[in-house]
Amino acid sequence: MTAPGRVHIVGAGVAGLAAAVTLAAGGYRVSLYEASQHAGGRCRSFFDPELGCRIDNGNHLLLAANTAA
């Protein structure tokens, strides 16, 4: 029996990160590629200097499909 191979995932958004974790847990070697300087895609936090605090952005993307939320 051969070992699982390498999987290349383009995009470190929520779906890409979830796929990477699932595949790695299944024994695959995972290479994850992201164009921006941070993972999370549109779901991320950033510092707003005018408000002086961190803002969570993108939560609506996760909650929009959740009818219980």
> Where does the pLDDT of residue 24 fall: very low under 50, low under 70, confident under 90, or very high at 90 and above?
very high
Residue 1 domain-assigned?
no
Note the pLDDT of residue 45. 84
> What are the helix (H) ranges across 13-58?
14-25
Residue 68 domain-assigned?
no
With 70 as the cut, is the pLDDT of residue 38 above it?
Answer: yes
Q: How buried is 58 (Cβ within 10 angstroms: 0-12 exposed, 13-18 middle, 19+ buried)?
A: middle
Q: Give the E-state strand segments of the chain in sequence order.
A: 6-10, 29-33, 44-48, 53-57
Q: Is pTM, for the whole model, over 0.75?
A: no
Domain count, the chain: 1
| Domain that residue 50 falls in | 6-63
With 90 as the cut, is the pLDDT of residue 19 above it?
Answer: yes
With 90 as the cut, is the pLDDT of residue 49 above it?
Answer: yes
